[in-house]
Chain A
Amino acid sequence: MSRANKKRRLLWAALFGASILPTVSVVRTAMAEPEDDDAPQAGEALSLTELTKKKRAVLTAMPNDETVLINVTAKQMPASPDILNLGRKSTKSLARCVSDNVDDHLRGLCAQMLGRLGDKAGLTALQGALEAWDAGVRRAAIDALRRMPDPTSVGPLSKILAREDEEESNRAAALEVLGAMNDRKALALVRKALRDEPTDLRVPAFKGLWKSRHMISHANLVSDVTYALGSSDPSLVLPGTFAASELRSPELVAPLIKLLSHPDTHVRNRAVYALGKIGDRAATRALLAEVPRVRESRMLNNIAFALERLDPQAFYATAGTLAAHKQAQIRMNTAFVLGDVQRPEGLPLLRAALEDKNDTVKLSAVRALGKLHTPDAASVLERYIDDPNPTLKTAAIYSIYAVSGAARKDLVYDKLYSSPDAATKLEAAVALGRVNDSRVTQDLVTCMELRTCKLLDVDPFLRASKSPDVPGRTLLAWTKGRSELTDLVAALRPEGVGPLGRSEVSASLAHHDLPRTLVAIDLTGEMTDAQAVAVLQPLLTHENTRLRLHAAVALARAGRTEADAVLFREMDNLPFEQLPSFVRLVSRVTEPAARARLTPELSKRETGSDAPVAVAAAAVHLAWTPETAVFRMLAALSSPSRQDRDLAERYLVRNDTVIVTELLRRALAREGTESTRNQLRRILDLRADRNRTP
């Protein structure tokens, strides 16, 4: 090695050493200095093992010693999931933490936990924390109180508004929460704030006011929404347009029309949407005048739907003009909209669009014709069956297939399933699977295994299939870890599923794989397998609440009455936020004997004073016997409490059965109270939107 090279190497080594010097120094310092938090009493750092032990000791003491969190440090505080796992048994110690711990960060954390538990036993501590010196603690308390509305919180929350030194964000949060308190005094404060407070507080005031809408007269509500719509602040106008869509009052048409020229696209779109929902013909002229100015397809669609609803004649006249527009984009959107409104009156315009020189317009028309459900559309499309443009050809075949009500499935089989292109073939197989065409069985089983298609698309086919291949191959995929196949496996009941399910419970438990253990327990429960009792019984006392619950449900289904008590004990102790999961889980119970056994305790809870538990019990009933249970949900929707109404809405939107849609439509047709009618309308819209979303 030459001297020059040696010198160069030494120089590089020196530079490298200099560059890492600060890092080494920091690491040394960090390793040498004990963390203050680790040694609150002993004056020396706790090892990781000791810290884990300490956390475990704190956690174990929480249900029985309400003072245990008073002196803990941030490092000793158990993790949030562990605290939530204790459920409401941790309320008292968390409340003392909020009141008596000196660490503001911990007080805020404990307040947050109390909110997530939703146990009203924590109210006093949270209300007291509204006077904490630290703004973060006060904020955490406000947010927690939002989750457990109670009139006793109105006074302390009002003081937040009155404090001169209060943070603006806390005042905003307090306004929203006050609106959810079902209290006239709180409502008066919120209404006053909407008009008197600075701009930043008007949006939360409006949101709070909207939470109280069931307590406000129609005239006042229209006046408040009109005020929001007329605001110079777009962030207030936007929630106003949402409110107008729900209120559907013709008095809001004029302020909404003014918004059609609003600079914010989102506001303009929502205004058009609201006008469509209101359905007042007074908006027709304004909407028609907008059409030539529109530059976005979403806005055009909203206008078209609004016009179709309030003046179909004007709609088709406008569509005729748009179909001849010089911009291809607008002609394409027009064809799209004509398809979506599904009226046969669109046929002549779409037939004309097939002659368009632009292929995208033509394609949009072909697809739209498939939505018209008129046999005349099929005859128009026949000429594209062998079109050299493969996209056009495929779209035409699917449109003919749709118009024929699947009667032309052989066309899909002959022209698309036989395609050498794998994607085209699979798409055709999925379409044919929807009408249970057994010729595509192998394709759909394989695509389920390889995840090349959506399970949702092939699930009904696989359930209905008579092929002996399907149950075994589905079970095989499940054993390879495909937990999303659990319900399908349960429906197919393949040979050997019982022992496999039981073994999977034991194996996943040994591997500490909680999610997999839970699905294995659910599958075992579906099998109502007597031999599973030996595996599941010990889990009723497991430290993990979810595991205990899943095991209790599986055992209850198998007729083990000792599991019933566990089920209800857990229900009463669960954090507020976990009740929807409980509802989903218990809704799985299909066995009449188990339902009959569990019903008396559920009914008792439906009439209880704890709103989240009561509505959750009613939601389980809704899943089991919708026709009788719907009335308890309707009572919650008409309740003076916003919390009851919101909970009922959430469960009614989540239940996606056809019969619940029918029961809601019946309720809407017969409902005379405006606020309940509006909420029913909103729930039906949310359900319909969810079903439209792919």
Chain B
Amino acid sequence: MFGIPWKSRRYRATAAAALVSAMLSAGCGPGPEEAPARDAHDVPVPATEPRAELTLTVNLVARHDCEEVFDLALYKEPAVELISWTGDAGSCEDRRVKVRYLSQRTSRELIVSRIRQLTKKAEVVSP
């Protein structure tokens, strides 16, 4: 679409790796400490694939880079597509976060459960 080598070996290999990984993990994904597989990459997801969104209020584990640490851990879930934060960017407490995910690859419950593992406190706001 934008000159990305969609049909390249790298694209096919990484897309296949992402698919296998998604199937095997069934949305559970590796933990935050686990490094991605060698030569794995972030890959585009077709626009036609269904997405869903989830909004929560969370208390993050306090440290100066709490938001980034949370993001890096949650993005290990291949089904998590985008995390968006609102509110005071410098704070770790009482933050509102919206998570967009690929609803055919995981479930809302699995995402909420993973977020609860990664935070001190998490409350679903919607849906």
Residues of chain A touching chain B, judged by Cβ–Cβ distance below 8 Å, are 305, 308, 312, 340-345, 371, 373-374, 405, 603-607, 614, 617-618, 621, 627-629, 631-632, 634-635, 638, 658-659, 662-663, 665-673, 676, 684, 688
Contact = CB atoms under 8 A, between A and B. Distances in A.
Contacts of A312: 63
A572 to B, nearest CB: 16
A605 B3 CA distance: 8
Nearest to B1: A628
23 contacts: A305-B64, A342-B92, A345-B62, A373-B88, A405-B88, A405-B91, A405-B94, A618-B2, A627-B82, A631-B2, A632-B4, A634-B42, A635-B4, A665-B75, A666-B42, A666-B80, A666-B83, A668-B72, A671-B40, A671-B42, A672-B39, A684-B68, A688-B68
Contacts of B3: 603-607, 614, 617-618, 632
Interface in B52-93: 62-64, 66, 68, 71-76, 78, 80-85, 87-88, 90-93
Contact of B38 (A308, A672, A684): A672
B35 interface: yes
A669 B36 contact: yes
Given A621-B2, A672-B36, A631 B63 contact: no
B112 interface: no
B33 to A, nearest CB: 12
A405 B87 CA distance: 9
B62 to A, nearest CB: 5
A662 B41 contact: no
Contacts of B88: 373, 405
A668 B62 CA distance: 22
Contacts of B50: none
Contacts of B44: 628, 631
Nearest to B68: A665
Contacts of B5: 635
A374 B75 CA distance: 28
Contact of B41 (A628, A665, A671): A671
B9 to A, nearest CB: 13
Contacts of A638: 41
B92 A666 contact: no
B72 A665 contact: yes
A634 B85 CA distance: 23
B64 A340 contact: yes
B63 A342 contact: yes
Nearest to B73: A669
B40 A670 contact: yes
Contacts of B62: 342-345, 373
Nearest to B47: A628
A374 B62 CA distance: 10
Interface of B: 1-5, 10, 35-44, 62-64, 66, 68, 71-76, 78, 80-85, 87-88, 90-94
Contacts of A340: 64
Given A618-B2, A631-B43, A662-B71, A669 B76 contact: yes
Q: Nearest 7 A-B pairs (CB), nearest first?
A: A606-B3, A672-B40, A669-B75, A607-B3, A672-B36, A667-B42, A666-B75
Nearest to A599: B2
Contact of B78 (A342, A604, A627, A670): A670
Contacts of B39: 672-673
A603 B40 CA distance: 25
Interface centre among A373, A614, A662 (most CB of B within 10 A): A373
B42 A670 contact: yes
Contact of B91 (A373, A629, A670, A684): A373
A670 B92 contact: no
A196 B41 CA distance: 38
Given A405-B88, A665-B83, 7 more contacts: A342-B63, A629-B2, A658-B85, A659-B82, A671-B40, A672-B36, A672-B38
A393 B1 CA distance: 58
A309 to B, nearest CB: 8
B93 A374 contact: yes
Nearest to B71: A665
B104 to A, nearest CB: 18
Contacts of B36: 669-672
A603 B6 CA distance: 13
B41 A371 contact: no
Contacts of A607: 3
Contacts of A344: 62
A662 B83 contact: yes
Contact of B90 (A345, A373, A658, A666): A373
Contacts of B87: 405
B42 A341 contact: no
Interface centre among B3, B39, B68, B85 (most CB of A within 10 A): B3
A672 B41 contact: yes
A524 to B, nearest CB: 29
Nearest to A621: B2
B5 to A, nearest CB: 7
Contacts of B42: 631, 634, 666-667, 670-671
Contacts of A614: 3
Nearest to B91: A373
A308 B35 CA distance: 22
Contacts of A618: 2-3
A634 B91 contact: no
Contacts of A308: 63-64
A340 B41 CA distance: 34
Contacts of A665: 68, 71-72, 75, 83
B120 to A, nearest CB: 11
Contacts of A666: 42, 71, 75, 80-83
Interface centre among A305, A312, A605, A670 (most CB of B within 10 A): A670
Contacts of A405: 87-88, 91, 94
